[in-house]
Amino acid sequence: MPNAPDLMQQVENMAVAAALERDADRGRLLEILLEVRDAKGGVGISKQGLMQVAERLHLFPAEAYEVATAFPAVNYAAAAPYATERCGDLVCALMHGTDAGVGVCRNRCDGARTEPDPRGFAAYRAAGGYQVLDRLRAYPGERTSLLERIATHQAVGRAGVGFPVAEKWRQAMAVGRTPVIIVNGDEGELAVFKDRFILESDPHGVVEAALVAARITSADKIFFYVRDDYAPIHAIVRRAMKDVVEAGFTDGITLELRRSGGAFICGEETALIASLEGRPARPVERPPFPTTRGYLGRPTILHNVETYFRLRAAWSTISTPEVPVSSLLDAGVVLFSVSGRVQAPGPKPVRDLARLSDLVEAAGGLVGGVELGGMVIGGSSGTIVSAADCQRPLADLKREGLRLGTGGAIVFGADDDRRVIASRMAAYLARESCGQCGPCRVGTGKARDVLAAPGTLDTALIEDLSTVMTEASLCALGRNAGRFLSRLSPLLASQDA
């Protein structure tokens, strides 16, 4: 009888062979490595197995190694299964204590949850879903007028920048090559889980919008790029993809689900595209922008899940009371991911938010015995907002430069140390830096160490780091980390006063 290591090696050999048999495409390298990890019960591929994959895909060993080590979810050469609980990041520390574990549950920050119950194809179709696709297939000439409706509706991206959707599509169409559509459901931002909420509730609302984008722009490929540890979502999206294929809505368009590898940097679109091409997730200089030269050199349109979902408001009012995300089709509703020291953390659609403190009430109020200390707004490189500012009109805060980003709101108490909170945010950014450029690689690590050091904060060094990172980093991770540092000194000084 073979011993345990020999048996595990046999399992790996079979998994490698099966994954390569399905599709030996270099672009699927990350997916192949994740499939092998799954077959081994969460234990990552070995060096021997990686060399087999590299040989079959005609890659240099260093190329395969770069990808295997760039994505934490691959769990390369690890002896233990990939951990997904108690990450020890900011929200875990607030909810579970400072000694929370070392997994990677980054945005499972809303506590216990029920089994997803998504609206199925039949119910969505009965409510009027896919009618716009019916018209586009029957009358292709309506593509131009529908694009104008999207522009008139002023649909913008919901990933934090707010770039006009129609303009992005027009840029891709102007290139003269067949575009690619990407639905970004990676959602790696700290304590943000709104895209998961949408896909769990109404996946066909996203699939329909992606197909509309493909029909209008004449794209022939749609990628659904979903977080690796969103296992229930994978099944939901695959079911929705199967539904539309069987219904005949995808003729001439290929749909493919790809899993991400747990790298926050894939929130940057060129890094995400690199992972789809079987390369390490590293940003590249822009221009050219992905709309001009993206996936495999083709014009590429990339939006997050919420952006696609909200597009339906431009051409329909499909909604039923039992679908919890229906209100998002109203432009006045903002979807927040609320976590931290609140009674009922979770995704909260909020209409006409007047003050940030209203988010606490939307999340069931503060946990027992806690007085509001403030909030972290906008994720890992967001803004730490004091309790006093949380009570001020949100319109005033936004005029003063507050960005809501992707809608993350981490609530902390009056007894929570803001410097510790800032230190954990900096540690997150340091861990997630791809390391490609010096300002971000060195700056995030130095900021983490300075904020964690005892004694008086070296504000001059913080300001220097902020300037260098903001002005010289290659991508938004480093630049936003620099802006995060620039907002810290007065806030921490007010706490120490």
The residue written with tokens 């609206």 in the block is: 119
Q: What is the pLDDT of residue 30?
A: 97
Evaluate the CA torsion angle 172, 177, 183, 184 in order and state its sign. Answer: negative
Indicate if the pLDDT at residue 167 is higher than 90. yes
Q: Which of 39, 127, 117, 121 is nearest to 81 (CA)?
A: 39
Q: What is the pLDDT of residue 318?
A: 60
Per DSSP, what are the bridge partners of residue 350?
Answer: 334
Q: What is the pLDDT of residue 191?
A: 87
Q: Which of 477, 476, 474 is nearest to 430 (CA)?
A: 477
Q: What is the pLDDT of residue 495?
A: 66
Q: How far apart are CA 118 and CA 67, in angstroms?
A: 34
The percentage of residues in the chain with a pLDDT greater than 90, rounded to a whole number, is 76
Say which residues have a Cβ less than 8 Å from residue 353's Cβ, sequence separation at least 6. 334, 336, 359, 394
DSSP per residue, 323-346? STTGGGGSTTEEEEEEEESBSS-E
Q: What is the pLDDT of residue 107?
A: 52
Q: Which of 256, 258, 278, 269 is nearest to 300 (CA)?
A: 269
Per DSSP, what are the bridge partners of residue 374?
Answer: 386, 412
Q: How confident is the model at residue 96 (pLDDT cuts 50, 70, 90)?
A: low
Note the pTM of the prediction, 2 decimals: 0.93
Residue pLDDT, tens place only, 16-60: 999 999 888 999 999 999 999 999 999 999 999 999 999 999 999
Torsion of CA 466, 468, 472, 474, to 10 degrees: -50
Give the pLDDT mean for 321-325: 78
Say which residues have a Cβ less than 8 Å from residue 178's Cβ, sequence separation at least 6. 218, 219, 220, 298, 299
Distance between the two ends of the chain, CA-based, in angstroms? 69
Q: Are 367 and 420 in contact (CB under 8 A)?
A: no
Say which residues have a Cβ less than 8 Å from residue 418's Cβ, sequence separation at least 6. 373, 374, 384, 412, 491, 492, 495
Angle (deg, nearest 10), helices 476-486 and 418-432: 170
Per DSSP, what are the bridge partners of residue 475?
Answer: none
CA distances from 410 to 245, 338, 376, 380 (A): 40, 6, 5, 10
Q: What is the pLDDT of residue 88?
A: 59
> If you average pLDDT over each of 203-217, 417-431, 474-488, which comes out highest?
203-217
Q: How far apart are CA 162 and CA 393, in angstroms?
A: 22
Tokens at 370, concatenated: 């806690």
Residue pLDDT, tens place only, 246-261: 999 999 999 999 999 9
Average pLDDT, the chain: 90
Residue pLDDT, tens place only, 284-302: 988 999 999 999 999 999 9
